[in-house]
Amino acid sequence: MKLAFTASARPEAQEALRRLRHTYGESGEADADIIVALGGDGHMLDTLRKRLKDKKPVYGMNRGTIGFLMNEYAEDALIDRLQKASPIRIRPLIAQSETTSGQIVERAFNEVSLLRQTAQSAWLKIIVDGAVRLPELSCDGIMVATPAGSTAYNYSAHGPILPINARLLALTPISAFRPRRWRGALLPHTAQVRIEVLDPERRPVSCSADNRETRNILAVDIREDSSTALTLLFDQGHALDERILREQFNV
């Protein structure tokens, strides 16, 4: 089994990178069978984005803060852990943003979120599959979250936790002011979501695809990239589907 290691800039991640390379050697990403990512969830998202072309499986070990997408760190028996690991397939979102200076396309594995850039609330129009569902939403922001990302920012904004194999997307408002009672929606994974900024000059809005931000948004088209699926590897008994299930009972 050929391995390639990647690590965040955190000192503990860099030290783990040095030790694991010394113990197991390294083949380089081009020749590796599995990519081992060392860091937190942010580093995992960056690692997944780099795998969009070769689609090599990624096994993460937590050398960061939260590490929901990571396994526990241990240096011993890594090959055995990899051979026994459970695979989870995840699909990213594509966000095509129209800005005051042109178009930008990004992919997100957790969520695509729109957020107000100033103290003024954002005014947004929500369109799903060509039909206007909310002509005006006054809020701090809104997001479209995948099942893999539903326990992250989405859950903090009181959105629903989605089972990892659910063919759904969560559309979740952030501090909605008008309409007050709207709590979001569950959408089929095939949904085409368009969010238009109604007053971009006085109420500017940014768009974040995971940890990549684009500012001064006019509109964003969001959909699942159904043609792309990447593989995450998890230790036996600690797979992402089990973690997401446990999260729903973590009171």
Q: Which two tokens stand for residue 16?
A: 């783990």
Q: Do residues 124 and 144 make contact, with C-beta atoms less than 8 angstroms apart?
A: no
Helical spans, DSSP H, in 85-185: 153-156
Rg (CA), the chain: 19
CA separation for the pair 81, 71 (Å, rounded)? 10
Name the β-bridge partners of 196. 125, 219
Q: Which one is catalytic: 31, 41, 76, 80?
A: 41
- Report the SS3 class of residue 82: helix
CA separation for the pair 16, 25 (Å, rounded)? 13
- 54 is a catalytic site residue: no
* 161 alpha carbon, distance to own chain's centre: 14
3-state DSSP helix/strand/coil percent for the chain, to nearest 5? 15, 40, 45
- Amino acid code (one letter) for 58: V
* Residues with active-site annotation: 41
